[in-house]
Amino acid sequence: MDSTTACPICTMTDILTTAAGDHECATCGHEWDTSAGDPNDLGEIRDANGIVLHDGDSVLLTKGLTLKGSNDTIKIGTKVVGIRLISGDHEIDCKINGRAILLKAKFVKKA
């Protein structure tokens, strides 16, 4: 097992290396190609004002957002504490009122 690499999906470090040199997560089963670069390298993720975000930052919503699958709305100005940056279409993983939510960085500003 490779303990220096974390899975980009579940962030666990119990990674198996295949004969071809690719990685597979023993926890969630996600597989990724190592020749494509480091999947944990997200580059710079910027908020609505162009400020670089980091793990653990606090942000404010710049737009009221309706949650898919429910009638709930997250109001503009809601403060989110302790964000986690992830790869994908929605770059921010966070909890708002105890509910796990993924947000796009273009709808937040650094607090």
Q: What is the pLDDT of residue 46?
A: 93
Residues 2-29 as b/e (b if ≥16 CB within 10 A, e otherwise) read eeebbbbbeeeeebeeeeeeebebeeee
Domains detected in the chain: 1-41 (2.20.25), 59-110 (2.30.30.40)
Q: What 3-state DSSP class applies to 35?
A: helix
pLDDT cut 70: percent of the chain above it: 88
Q: What is the pLDDT of residue 68?
A: 85
pLDDT-derived band at 24, boundaries 50, 70, 90: confident
* β-strand partners of 15: 2, 25
CB 67 within 8 A of CB 101: yes
Q: What 3-state DSSP class applies to 105?
A: helix
